[in-house]
Amino acid sequence: MSPAEALRAERAERAEGAERRPGPLWSLGLLRSELLTTFRRWRTLALLTVLAAVPVLIGIAVKLETDDGSSAGGGGEGPAFISQITNNGLFLVFTALAATLPFFLPMAIGVIAGDAVAGEASSGTLRYLLVAPAGRTRLLLTKYATVLAFCLVATLVVAVSALAVGALLFPLGELTTISGTRIGLAEGLARALLIALVVAASLIGVAALGLFVSTLTNSGIAAMATTVGLLITVQILDQIPQLDAVQPYFFSHYWLSFADLMRDPVYYEDLVRNLGLQAAYAVVFGSAAWARFTAKDITA
């Protein structure tokens, strides 16, 4: 499409937009159709299935290992909370989230976020999306909202699957916090829900980063690979002690702070830092994605 043609198309689009100002209900409709498209994809369902399988595997492994009465985790090895699973099945939720948060969850987010814009571009459907009087900013916001919804759904899938497996294989009941105090099952469940929400919120940064990468390229695969590659790079850099001056700025640095919710009283310092950092990533990369996407030539 030549620039003149593009201009004409835009003008036509504008004219239509002026006639029929998109209302908030219309945006909801766009969001709903985006959500349906995303969650109906086989790819998305496969990702969610893999995530749901992780707690099942952990639960069965711990059950088999501790059937003879020995303790799991061999004295502090393995993912966080693993040694407490045998006391209380609810701990499987925390272990499963601690095991999936460093890699499985953000990888799934990276795939969905990377695909959000670049995927449409590579399959040639982005043009048609923009022909509708949605506007680029609105479309981008809808895409981001869809990715965030996936963050929440993915985390809840892990948590619910872990809760089901934990309840089946291990006893539930009063649980001991990592500070040694005891809380009832109802409070334990409330904290588990809170932890799931915090974990979902921990992924906001990756989601924004993925969306930005997605606006840079027209290849869905390239965007996914770049996002997941960045994720792995940051995770590795976060382990190098010589880099401790910059590590607090890595989006993954405070991820495990969700465990602080299992202290009694709750230790908020790192939790607040984590949420602040995620918000900063969302705003910085979200606005970068906006700058890129609204100024981009859409040729496919």
Partner 1 sequence: MAPYESDSTTAAEAGGLRAGRHRRRAARYVVPGAVLGVAAATIGLVPALADSGDPDLPEMTAQQLVEKMAESDVDQLSGTVKITTDLGLPDLGGLESGLLSGGSHSDGDGSAADPSSKLTELVTGTHTLRVAADGPDRQKVSLLENAAEYSLIHDGKDVWGYDSGSNEVYHSTVSDRSGELTKEDVPATPEDLTAQALKAVDDTTSVTVDGTAQVAGRDAYRLLIEPKRSGSTVGAISVAVDAETGLPLKFTLTPSSGGAAVVDAGFTQVSFAKPDAKTFDFTPPKGAKVTEADESGGAAQAPKRAQKPDEDLAGNLGGLTVLGEGWNSVATFDTGGEGLPTAGDDGGLGGFLDSLGSKVSGGFGSGTVFSTRLVNALITDDGKVYVGTVTKEELVKAADAAK
**Element (H or E) spanning 279, and its range?**
helix 269-294
**Distance separating alpha carbons of residues 138 and 290, to the nearest angstrom:** 10
Site for partner 1 in 137-166 (CB under 8 A): 137-138
**For the window 187-226, what string marks contact with partner 1 as x by the rule CB under 8 A?**
----------------------------------------
Packing angle of the helix pair 136-169, 104-122 (nearest 10 deg): 150
Closest CB 242 distance from partner 1, rounded Å: 12
Task: Pick the stretch among 103-111, 159-167, 190-198, 265-273 that binds partner 1 (CB under 8 A).
Answer: 265-273
Our finding on whether 175 is near partner 1 (CB under 8 A) is yes
Our finding on whether 73 is near partner 1 (CB under 8 A) is yes
Helices (H), the chain: 3-19, 24-40, 42-66, 91-100, 104-122, 126-131, 136-169, 185-202, 204-216, 220-237, 269-294
> What Rg, from alpha-carbon coordinates, does the chain have?
22
**Distance separating alpha carbons of residues 106 and 201, to the nearest angstrom:** 11
Our finding on whether 97 is near partner 1 (CB under 8 A) is no
Closest CB 88 distance from partner 1, rounded Å: 8
Task: Select the residue interacting with partner 1 from 179, 229, 233, 272 (CB under 8 A).
Answer: 179
Our finding on whether 295 is near partner 1 (CB under 8 A) is yes
Strand blocks (E) in 99-227: 175-176, 182-183
Our finding on whether 98 is near partner 1 (CB under 8 A) is yes
Question: Amino acid identity of 299?
Answer: T
Our finding on whether 134 is near partner 1 (CB under 8 A) is yes
User: What is the CB neighbour count within 10 angstroms for residue 167?
Assistant: 14
Our finding on whether 27 is near partner 1 (CB under 8 A) is no
DSSP states of 215-243: HH-S-HHHHHHHHHHHHHHHHHHTT-GGG
Our finding on whether 121 is near partner 1 (CB under 8 A) is no
Which residues would be at the binding site for partner 1 (CB under 8 A)?
3-4, 7, 10-11, 13-14, 17, 66, 71, 73, 75-76, 80-81, 83-84, 86-88, 98, 134-138, 171, 175-176, 178-182, 256, 259, 263-265, 267, 269, 280, 283-285, 287-288, 290-291, 294-295
